[in-house]
Amino acid sequence: MHAPIGVFDSGIGGLSVLRSLQRELPNERFVYLADSANAPYGEKSEAFIRQRTHAIAEYLLAQHHIKALVVACNTATAATIHELRERHPALPLVGLEPALKPALALSHTRRIGVMATRGTVSSDKFARLLASVQNEAHFEVQACNGLALAIEQSTLPDQATVAQAKIAQLLQIYTRAMGRFGSAPGEIDTLVLGCTHYVFVENALRQLLGPDVQLVSTGEPVARQTQRLLAAANLLNTSSSAGHPPPIELLTTGDLQGLQAAAQRWLGLSAECCRAISDAHGVG
């Protein structure tokens, strides 16, 4: 089936999930929507996040006729995924949650750090997830106010230098607040990146934490789950495009230059794949 798969995030962070989806599903078309005019969701009210999530889902269904939807945002998943499933029971839906269970399989010290937005760590969904595993390891959970926004701003030419300095400062603050990292007993040896934006500062984190700390994100598990759901629904596109990747469309409600820079830097995509949209296009 040649209809595209819809992917959306509050901003550019979900491009890290899109990258994994492209690897897992090379024959599929994708339309990605960054709601950057309202990023980050992690510091917004739950009512606002729910309203935006439903509006974007309706837009992608009506205007792009998507065959599946990946909610590439931990905060939006926590706030709204159950309602999306109720409203769209026939639509294959994949959400995100911080990778606590995969982290358990990797940790030897049984001390695991979790970095996420305040919206994610304060949600009922995260509380239930944490309760399900907290007897198996000690989790240091850190709400990282401002980090997703700084990563978002780092793609804007006029804000990049200041944003990079802010990212470095926040990473120092938040990792120190969690405790000692390393492979020795009592140290945190595994760090869960509970926001899709944080994947794009992995290198900076590795420099801070050293080579023995494992970083865990959700892109690959989400891509595999998307493949399974599409296969079960007989919706996979099995036709190859003979060396030419399927077209991809990247949309933003915010600054077009920011999305173009992010697409080029992190996905190697041309700026021509990107365009700006607004509420006038039906996203609202």
Peptide bond between residue 40 and the one before it cis (omega within 30 degrees of 0): yes
What is the number of other CB atoms lying within 10 angstroms of the CB of residue 248? 20
User: Helix 124-133 crosses helix 74-87 at what angle (to 10 degrees)?
Assistant: 110
Residue 139: which H helix or E strand, with range? strand 138-143
- The two three-digit tokens of residue 141, written as one number: 């959970």
Strand 248-252 versus strand 274-276 pairing type: parallel
The C-alpha atoms of residue 115 and residue 144 are separated, in whole angstroms, by 6
Look up 273 and say whether it is catalytic. Answer: no
Q: How far is C-alpha 154 from the chain's CA centre? A: 17
Partners of residue 229 on adjacent β-strands: none
User: Which is catalytic among the residues 144, 195, 273, 274?
Assistant: 195
Residue 9 is classified by DSSP as E
Look up 274 and say whether it is catalytic. Answer: no
Residue 181 is classified by DSSP as B
User: Which is catalytic among the residues 73, 144, 273, 274?
Assistant: 73
The C-alpha atoms of residue 28 and residue 248 are separated, in whole angstroms, by 9
**Are the C-beta atoms of residues 148 and 15 closer than 8 Å to each other?**
no
Length of the chain in terms of residues written: 284
Q: Residue 141: CA atoms inside 13 Å, Cβ hemisphere, count?
A: 19
Q: How far is C-alpha 55 from the chain's CA centre? A: 18
Which residues in 179-195 are b (16+ Cβ under 10 Å) and which e?
eebeeeeeebbbbbbbb
Q: Which residues are catalytic?
A: 73, 195
